[in-house]
Amino acid sequence: MATLLTIGDAAKASGLTAKMIRHYEQSGLLNKSPRTESGYRLYNSEQVNQLRFIRQARNLGFSLADIHSLLELWQNPQRESRAVKQLAQQHLDEIAAKIAELQHMQQILTALSDSCRGDGSPHCHILQQLAKPI
């Protein structure tokens, strides 16, 4: 008994939105799903698993392009785990770079904010620093 879900129910079951699912189909991340006579998309449990896979990968910050690759690897029994790990490692590098960038901003801005009295007077070290010609 293959239970078929409409897009709204598939969305609830996967944690995505119907909008996202249509968008993923549109952008080639998902195969076009079968439709009812009246044109409603229908999803079986295997496709819902795929949607969940996508959601979990999105939660880890993978781009849709990366997820496309991950899905292909997942569905390929001849995959080499090397390829998966490489994608993960590249993504980890990007994450680390973003964290470093944000921490750099955080460090500078914290110092500036600490040196601003934050009262009713116009004097403000933050503005002074931003205005500095360097």
- Cβ nearer to DNA, comparing 23 with 52: 23
Binding partner at 44 among a copy of itself, DNA, none, C-beta below 5 to 8 Å by kind: none
Indicate which single residue of 64, 71, 73, 87 sits in contact with DNA (rule: CB under 7 A). Answer: 64
Residue 123: partners with Cβ closer than 8 Å, 6 or more residues away = 117
Smallest gap from residue 80 Cβ to DNA (A): 24
Largest CA distance in the chain: 72
Three-class SS of residue 99?
helix
Q: Identify whether the C-beta of residue 46 lies closer than 8 Å to the C-beta of residue 3.
A: no
**Is residue 41 part of the contact set for DNA (CB under 7 A)?**
yes
Confirm if 73 and 82 have CB atoms less than 8 A apart. Answer: no
Per CB under 7 A, 4 contacts DNA: no
Residue 106's binding partner among a copy of itself, DNA, none (Cβ under 5 to 8 angstroms by kind) is a copy of itself
Residues that bind DNA in the complex, under the rule CB under 7 A: 6-9, 17-20, 22-23, 35-41, 58, 63-65
